[in-house]
Structure 1
Amino acid sequence: MKRITIFDTTLRDGEQAPGASLYPQEKILVARQLERLGVDVIEPGFPISSPGEFAAVQQISRMVQRAEVCGFARAIREDIDSAVRATQDAARRRLHLFISSSQIHLDFQLRKTQREVLQMARDMVAYAKQFVDRIEFSPMDASRTGDEFLCEMVEAVIEEGATIINLPDTVGYSLPAEYGAMFAKVRKLVRGGDKVEYSAHCHNDLGLAVANSLAAIENGATHVEVTVNGVGERTGNCSLEELVMAIATRGDALGIETGIRTEEIYETSRLVSRMMNFPIAFNKPIVGRNAFQHESGIHQDGLLKNRKTYEIMDPAKMGVPRSMIVLGKHSGRHALKHRMSQYGAKLSDAGLDTVYHQFKALADARKHVSDEDLLALVDGVIDGNVSRFALVDLDISKTADSKRVARVAIRDNEADTVTSYSETGDGPVEAVVGAIKQAMPMSITFADLELHSLSSTERANGEAAVTVVCEGETYRGVGIDEDVIEAVAKAFLSACNQAVAAQNAQNGDTKAEKDA
């Protein structure tokens, strides 16, 4: 299996996406996680762009031990000097120089001739070579550069000491066959082209970044430049998680592998999403909310019998904690029964049939069915309550120093009591979660929150999805309400009830084993 080098540019090209800027300390947190993920190269920023950027690149260079650090620079002496200084303490490093090569860029951006640009590329690669052995060179907009000039430029920089040639599809214009052919031509036609490494850098304007990167690999590229969640300018870059899992899933057919620790993918994705305040699309491959969730009854039935019937990857191997079953109007009895078992509810065949028909009618009427709605249906056909705890009342107030105070009343259906709890937090969610935690008989950790509007009107319901961790297991609850804080409270309590039910079932099994 040929090993593909994963070059992560989340902190440089990814951060160039509008609104994605990171503070230096946030960059450092992401860099630490990227090293845990196992990327081979980290491009931590553009040192010349600002003092804060320089400081972040410098600190990351000192911190990172395993991954190679890449200093990014235009083919300008000042840029190179800045990149050299910022990365000088790195255990392993390379410099990445770039200059435009397509005629449209030369005419309207640089306003220089091909001869002038060619000489700049030569001079600056030679200048950088005195500081660093590993020099990566990118002819920007290579995919729209004619073959003759592209080969001439690549040949020139190889003569001056470039060791890695990156052929970027800067504006996401190439088709896979075209992009792959460009690598094949350069490798064949350029003198010394067989003595250097090749890297692919693809943008996703036509949704082809991953496909183009794989085409480059098939034609000799051994480095691929990616970003977490595919973030980047315009529609973004080649997505790290998509490329890595394509290789992991179809590696035998492709004859390639990476060194990425796939179990860190989900946590890395969530961290970058939080730091950049970039939500992840529901249908985003690998890390999107719907990537491993199923509403169709046919699919749910197959999945409950054997996950591989409708999933080509195991989400657990990527650290994805989500339940595969989402209930909606397309769901079947098998999925409904499975969901109820997560709350410890056992329904007779007649009871399941009654709940199933009521659920279908509710799903048609409301489109979105919350856990609270579902449990109310079940409570109507069994004795007692399915869930142990229920939210009776919720009130939020503000203190003089702008803190939030949450007061909740929680019914314990097992003890038949209603108890009030209060907690203070910097925001209403922190306060509410802290108050509800006091009612729980075990330690439960709030792990993740997703908030979404279910409509575009001023009367829109908010949907909250909360993930909690208890005894190493994850549980996910969903709440819907016009008051988004109440939706969060309902979702958190739903997840807590699942954790309590699971622990009770486990304790019951343990007791039965001891009695036996």
Structure 2
Amino acid sequence: MNTNVNINSEANTNANKQRIQIFDTTMRDGEQSPGASIDSGRKIVIARQLAKLGVDVIEPGFAISSPGDFAAIQHISREIQTVEIAGFARCVKADIDAAVRATVDAARRRLHLFISSSDIHLNFQIRKSREQVIQIARDMISYGKQFVDEIEFSAMDSTRSGRDFVIELVEAAIDSGATVINLPDTLGYAMPHEVEDLFRTVRRQARGADRVRFSAHCHNDLGMAVANSIAAIRGGATQIEVTVNGIGERAGNCSLEELVMAIETRQEALQAETDIVQSEIFETSRLVSRTMRFPIAFNKPIVGRNAFQHESGIHQDGLLKNRNTYEIMDPEAMGIPRSMIILGKSSGRHAIKHRLSEFGIIVSDEQMQGVYEKFIAAADEKKIVTDSELIRMAGEATETQPDPFVLVDLQVISGTQRGRVASVTIRDDSGQERSYSAVGEGPLEAVIRCIQQAIPAEAEFEDLELHSLSTGEDAYGEAVVTIVYDGQRCRGTSIHRDIVLAAAQAYVAACNQAIMGGAARPAADQQAAASEQSAV
């Protein structure tokens, strides 16, 4: 009897959750980030991924702005038939005409019209009176309604506008045929309680508000875009406008991945849910970052490099016993490779021993002491100790070569008038050394071609990150190489003052990880299963 009560209670709770539509404007508002433009050919690639991610609406660009944007919107409208496409336009006939033509082949489409509502915009930018703005909104919504049933109206800078005027403008928009009302925090100025109150008040006082849906579009100038979007949901918004990685003008927009995971993680508190496919979050983030050449901050929530990594020995010990001790989300559910333990000077012996075991390396307590002493000395100098360095330390302690392959020597010749030539010497685990040479358009390409001849692992070179870890002539550079091997992503890291050498070592480390990880994976899986069983 008690079981039935619990099941019914859970069903009722789920039924009460409000589904929040995710409106993605990465390719329109996000592209307005300085230095983050996308050519029309790459927009379709992002649109396909957004469709896989499960967004409800895609705003692919601003049709009137350029022939390239028009073509991209047209292409996306024709190909992406499972997602609603929004044509963005000012309250100007030429904008509306361009948006209508660009989206004509979409299976589902809407017009997204906007005009300013704050006095500072009216007086100094568009130089219109409030009465003129209301009339323009009425006329242009009515004009757009001839072509499209679904019209979203945005009262730009709503949070800095007079409340009574916003209500009057919203009533005019609804009366003219708008079906979605967006109240943007265009300058990221509002506080969460102000946003919640704005939505509650407009929904309660504007005539016809019960016939339309409400949307929020929040910027991050004060770092509150996600908090303000959640406040809008509490105030009755059922659509949130977001960008992947939070890109956008100035400090950016509400981050898609942060908002979605806040809703997912705190469903019971918010009584809300989305249809986003969590497993596609990480891939979407990486794609947008690479395509727009817009790096992701290390400490970026959800998708940042450090978001699920831990260096503190206390945290590492807790994680090894139960992941829930220091993690509130499962990174693997979002497609994020599991690499929670970062080895630095705060790490303890348990974490070091655990990392070595992942590569099938077992050390005695006596050998562990030697490894730990070398580890602390290296961590004091470089802050982070890479997997390849740790494996080398273990090899010295056990007088073996745990790594399948070791980069012994590297030479590169570069010049302005010729191709780059590289030669490398690689030692395998039998102790035999062989040399290889290759050419490439750049020194790194030449080096990678050399190494690929030496290592019989058919791995796809997927990504390279280069970071400066300090300043000055003696600065260390960190290289992070990601490869795909046997369907698994493997990442190698190396730190050196020579960035080409660091990249080469990182590539070898990634290949070694792929080879050793494949061999050690069954044992690691058994160990993980045993740990989970004992926890139960």
Q: Which moved more, 1:403-412 or 1:124-133?
A: 403-412
Cα displacement (A) at 1:26:
1.2
Contact 1:389 1:493 (C-alpha < 8 Å) held by counterparts: yes
Contact 1:322 1:476 (C-alpha < 8 Å) held by counterparts: no
Contact 2:424 2:450 (C-alpha < 8 Å) held by counterparts: yes
Number of the residue aligned with 1:158 = 174
Instruction: Write the distance in 1 (CA, Å) between the matches of 2:412 and 2:342.
Output: 31
1:487 pairs, out of 502, 509, 519, with: 502
Instruction: Write the distance in 2 (CA, Å) between the matches of 1:117 and 1:505.
Output: 67
Number of the residue aligned with 1:450 = 465
2:234 pairs, out of 202, 218, 229, with: 218
Q: Deviations over 1:46-68 (max 9, x none)?
A: 00001111111111111111110
Q: Structure 1 residues 271 and 435, CA, compared in 2 at 3 Å: closer, same or farther?
A: same
1:13 pairs, out of 24, 29, 34, with: 29
Q: Which moved more, 1:87-96 or 1:299-308?
A: 299-308
Instruction: Write the distance in 2 (CA, Å) between the matches of 1:276 and 1:443.
Output: 29
Structure 2 counterparts to residues 127-142 of structure 1, below 5 A: 127-142=143-158
Cα displacement (A) at 1:401:
7.9
Cα displacement (A) at 1:405:
3.6
What's the TM-score once normalised by structure 2's chain length? Answer: 0.92
Contact 2:279 2:335 (C-alpha < 8 Å) held by counterparts: yes
Number of the residue aligned with 1:501 = 516
Contact 2:170 2:181 (C-alpha < 8 Å) held by counterparts: yes
Cα displacement (A) at 1:467:
2.1
Contact 1:323 1:476 (C-alpha < 8 Å) held by counterparts: no
1:370 pairs, out of 373, 382, 386, with: 386
Number of the residue aligned with 1:122 = 138
Cα displacement (A) at 1:402:
5.4
Contact 2:457 2:511 (C-alpha < 8 Å) held by counterparts: no
Q: Does 1:438 align with 2:453?
A: yes
Cα displacement (A) at 1:256:
1.1
Cα displacement (A) at 1:432:
2.3
Q: Which moved more, 1:437-446 or 1:259-268?
A: 437-446
Contact 1:229 1:280 (C-alpha < 8 Å) held by counterparts: yes
Instruction: Specify every segment of 5 or more residues in structure 1 that has no aligned partner in the other structure, as ranges.
Output: 511-516
SS in 2 for 1:138: strand
Instruction: Specify every segment of 5 or more residues in structure 2 that has no aligned partner in the other structure, as ranges.
Output: 1-16, 526-536
2:484 pairs, out of 460, 469, 492, with: 469
For the aligned residue pairs, the C-alpha RMSD in angstroms reads 1.8
Number of the residue aligned with 2:434 = 419
1:201 pairs, out of 196, 217, 232, with: 217
Number of the residue aligned with 1:282 = 298
Percent identical among aligned pairs is 61
SS in 1 for 2:210: coil
Code of the residue aligned with 2:197 in structure 1: it is A
Cα displacement (A) at 1:423:
3.4
Q: Deviations over 1:127-148 (max 9, x none)?
A: 1111100000001000001111
Code of the residue aligned with 2:457 in structure 1: it is M
Q: Deviations over 1:153-209 (max 9, x none)?
A: 000011100000000000000111100110111111111011100000000011111
What's the TM-score once normalised by structure 1's chain length? Answer: 0.95
Q: Deviations over 1:19-52 (max 9, x none)?
A: 1111111111111111111111000000000111
1:250 pairs, out of 243, 258, 266, with: 266
Q: Structure 1 residues 506 and 97, CA, compared in 2 at 3 Å: closer, same or farther?
A: closer
Q: Structure 1 residues 482 and 37, CA, compared in 2 at 3 Å: closer, same or farther?
A: same
Cα displacement (A) at 1:403:
4.3
SS in 2 for 1:393: strand
Structure 2 counterparts to residues 52-67 of structure 1, below 5 A: 52-67=68-83
Instruction: Write the distance in 1 (CA, Å) between the matches of 2:363 and 2:497.
Output: 31
Instruction: Write the distance in 2 (CA, Å) between the matches of 1:453 and 1:146.
Output: 48
Structure 2 counterparts to residues 55-454 of structure 1, below 5 A: 55-398=71-414, 403-412=419-428, 414-454=429-469
Instruction: Write the distance in 1 (CA, Å) between the matches of 2:142 and 2:286.
Output: 41
How many matched pairs? 509
Q: Which moved more, 1:24-33 or 1:334-343?
A: 334-343
Contact 1:14 1:237 (C-alpha < 8 Å) held by counterparts: yes
SS in 2 for 1:244: helix
Number of the residue aligned with 2:8 = none
Instruction: Write the distance in 1 (CA, Å) between the matches of 2:524 and 2:205.
Output: 70
